[in-house]
Amino acid sequence: MKLNFPALQYEAGNGQLVNIVPLSRLTPNMPKDSDKPEDERDSESLEEKTQAASEETVRKRVRVNTPSPHRGNTPQASPPRFVSMEEVMETAKGVSNMALAHEIMVNQEFQVKPTELPEGSLERRVKEILHKAFWDCLETQMNEDPPSYNHAIKLLAEIKETLLSFLLLGHGRLRARIEEVLDLHLIQQQAEHRVLDISQLAQFIVGTMGSLCAPCRDEDIQKLKETTELVPLLKAIFSVLDLMKMDMANFALSSIRPYLLQQSAEYERNKFQEFLDKQPNVLDYTEKWLQDTLDCLREGGADDSGAASCPSSLVPLNIHNHAYLRLLKWHHASDPFPETVVMDQVRFQEMQQEAEQLVILSSVLLIVYTTMGEAISGLPGLMETLKDTINAILADMQTPSFSEEETLATIGERLCVELSQRLNQHGYSPFSTDRQSTLKGQILATGQPDNTVRKLMDSRIQRYLLASLESTHHKTPPPHPGGLTPVSRELTELARRFCRLVNFNKQVFSPFYQRILQNILTAVESRGTEK
């Protein structure tokens, strides 16, 4: 019985684990015709022919429909294009590979992890039952008199193959040693003559694993050395080998990431072009995204960053930067995300939430220090304490049950308690009830979209992110706007991740953006000339 190692999965930017399942697992194991009785084959022949003809018709007439913001009852210039099922599957495979390559590049914490089946799921129960049956069968064979080593030798063959897969070119001596000790032909002869000592082979295997594993597996290797019963030892060896496979895969990814960076942009661009060739309208939402950005710039309201509708703001690079900035103000529930950034939608959404949290944090701190004045300006450690308190209360900001009004009220209460204690400790006059009520009201008012302080902090944060995009090629980051010094560290980190993601997306999709912007700007100039 061959034990298949678990499927792999990777950790995406949102923290979720995504399975990497071999295509062979998607194909059901259908019984062969030769395994069926002759009368069944005769009775099914007509049905199979009919089904085959039907499937062939479907393959020839499958049409891929992509929703488009420009579609309606208006006749299309080009006739509908039909693609085969083979083309659809090949395109899907290419897009899947492109998404995986993209995840490796943009997620610095990308890791391959073993599949964790849900507790109580049918798949997990079936797996546990089959594994228990196998190991029980192996133990029964080992307890026979004389012992039967058929299953054990197959396991040794798998272990040998796995150990050899870990070796590098410089491991010639270790490779020869593994080949010598785990000589399957010799092991088979020893089993036939009843002189096989599997315990000794298991000790050699554990020792070899110890010399090849990462330091984080030393504790697991020590547990193997302390295991005396043979069947549990073999079972534990396979578990540790699975972990070592994950370690080797992750080490390989970290090693080749610098080389992937040189090729990944072109690879993703080519894969997307293949997808675009099969679905020419796939950039409709991207075109709308850029068109809306241009319209906002022309109206003088591209965002809250203070952009003006001067001619210099209508150059493609500036339009593009403002378009990316708009992704941090996106209504994800109602507006379809542009196709070229859809793989990073979760990341942009997380950055949007971080930016909103920084707006609230900086607004509240500005109100506190403006209201309290010199009494707290020089108190050591107070700023960090207030920041920690506010961030702790805003920790569940992304949950559906989050209420901004209740949260701001809680922040006001907690800050008043903290400020009262600090003022008393340093001998200042007591924090009166009237002043506390005033401070709480001002903090609560920041929950209104038209609140002056909130709009000011939001505008400055947006302006800083835009300046970071525009100064990407400079080593010195732009200076922080006034009032954002308390959150400078968090804002700098957000800008770094935002620019890194945007710049990689630009490398991949810049040819597509240039064509779209050229068409949009040409149309704008044409309308201006007509007027």
Q: Residues 178-212: pLDDT tens digits?
A: 999 999 999 999 988 888 888 899 999 999 999 99
* pLDDT value at residue 56: 44
The pair of three-digit structure tokens given for residue 225, joined into one six-digit string = 């050395």
CB neighbours of residue 60 within 10 Å? 11
Q: Mention every residue, 6+ apart, whose C-beta is less than 8 A from residue 297.
A: 307, 309, 313, 314, 318, 319, 322
Write down the pTM of the prediction: 0.62
Q: Give every strand in the sheet of 8-11, ordered side by side.
A: 17-20, 8-11, 112-114
* In-domain check, residue 58: no
**Domain's final residue, options 280, 301, 329:** 280
Is 99 found in the same domain as 1? Answer: yes
> CA-CA distance, 291 to 295, in Å (whole number)?
6
Q: Are both 274 and 288 inside the same structural domain? A: no
Residue 436 counted as domain residue: yes
- Assess whether 350 and 422 both reside in one domain: yes
Note whether residue 46 is domain-resident.
no
The answer to whether 21 and 7 are in contact (CB under 8 A) is yes
Show which of 247, 262, 280 is a domain's final residue. 280
Total number of domains constituting the chain: 2
Q: Tell me, what's the pLDDT at 90? A: 53
Question: Which ranges of 279-381 would DSSP assign to H, the alpha helix?
Answer: 284-298, 316-326, 345-372, 374-377
Statement to judge: residues 270 and 333 lie in one domain = no
Work out the average pLDDT over 165-171.
87
Residues 350 and 259 in one domain: no
Q: Are residues 241 and 340 in the same domain?
A: no
As a whole number of angstroms, the distance between CA 436 and CA 420 comes to 9
User: Which residues make beta-bridge pairs with 18?
Assistant: 10
Let me know if residue 249 belongs to a domain.
yes
Of the residues 280, 315, 341, which one is the last residue of a structural domain? Answer: 280
pLDDT of residue 304: 46
* Element (DSSP H or E) covering residue 10: strand 8-11
What are 114's strand-pairing partners?
8
Range of the domain at 442: 284-530
For residues 236 and 190, is the Cβ–Cβ distance under 8 A?
no
pLDDT over threshold 60, residue 85? no
Please report the pLDDT score of residue 175 as a whole number: 93
